[in-house]
Amino acid sequence: MPTEKDPTKFYLKPATAEDKVRIPGTDRHLPEEGTWMPRNNYWTRRLRDRSVVETSPPKSAPKSPPVPAKSAPAKPKTEA
């Protein structure tokens, strides 16, 4: 994961919750909470046209409680 000191990437999120900004080369949109993206012409243009904003990544995302692993069904005992 990049850090704030990485000059090749920046943390971006849509300017408003209504903005749907497509990630090039995929069929996905930039998540509302933001993500690290490459510092390239595409994202620089999105900043200039104000469809995205540069921001700091969240300090820590709230973690969901661990999901217990499903146990395998017990095999019936066979007597020999």
User: Is 39 within a domain?
Assistant: yes
What is the pLDDT at residue 64?
44
What is the pLDDT at residue 59?
83
What is the pLDDT at residue 19?
87
Domain that holds residue 28: 9-54
Q: What are phi and psi of 48, to 5 degrees?
A: -65, -40
User: Is 14 within a domain?
Assistant: yes
User: Is 61 within a domain?
Assistant: no
What is the pLDDT at residue 72?
56
What is the pLDDT at residue 79?
67
- pLDDT, tens digit only, all 80 positions of the chain: 666 678 899 999 999 988 899 999 999 999 999 999 999 999 999 999 999 999 999 886 544 445 555 555 666 677 65
The tally of domains found in the chain comes to 1
User: Is 20 within a domain?
Assistant: yes
User: Is 74 within a domain?
Assistant: no
> Residue 67: CA atoms inside 13 Å, Cβ hemisphere, count?
2
What is the pLDDT at residue 17?
87
CA–CA distance, 32 with 16 (Å, rounded to integer): 8
